[in-house]
Amino acid sequence: MDGIRSSGSGTVFAQFLGLTLINPLTIVYFSALILGGGAKSVASVLEHATFVVGAGLASLSWQTLLAGLGSLGHERLSPRFKIAASILGFLVVIGFGLRILLPLV
């Protein structure tokens, strides 16, 4: 393979999962959004905290699913497909960014 050693699918999965776990931005975002609204009672604080934990678990499960699918497909997908998927992903992010920025101009 031209001197490039491929990591096993489990290694790729573990690396992707690790990167997801050290990036807690989703949990911070939902914490600020929900808890910043100001809880008035203990029940309200508990409900808000439960929502934040649920949002964090949902994000973790989604990222874990994506990491698993990426790990399984990594060696099965052609280089051409990987490049096309990367370009499409970049275009989607740029499109969303423009949608946010254009109303501000």
Is 15 in the same domain as 65? yes
pLDDT at 1: 41
pLDDT at 20: 63
CA dist., res. 68 & res. 17, Å (int) = 9
Is 37 in the same domain as 82? no
Residue 67 lies in a domain: yes
The number of domains in the chain is: 2
Can you state the angle between helices 42-73 and 9-21, rounded to 10 degrees? 150
| CA distances for 38 relative to 43, 44, 49, 52, 85, angstroms | 12, 9, 12, 14, 42
pLDDT at 47: 80
pLDDT at 66: 79
Is 34 in the same domain as 21? yes
pLDDT at 26: 66
Domain that holds residue 14: 9-74
pLDDT at 3: 43
Is 89 in the same domain as 102? yes
Is 27 in the same domain as 67? yes
Show Cβ contacts of residue 87 under 8 Å, excluding neighbours closer than 6 positions. Answer: none
Is 16 in the same domain as 36? yes
Residue 61 lies in a domain: yes
The ranges of the chain with pLDDT < 70 are 1-9, 12-13, 15-17, 19-24, 26-27, 30-31, 33-43
pLDDT at 77: 84
CA dist., res. 22 & res. 38, Å (int) = 27
The string of pLDDT tens digits covering residues 4-21 is 455 566 776 676 667 666
pLDDT at 43: 63
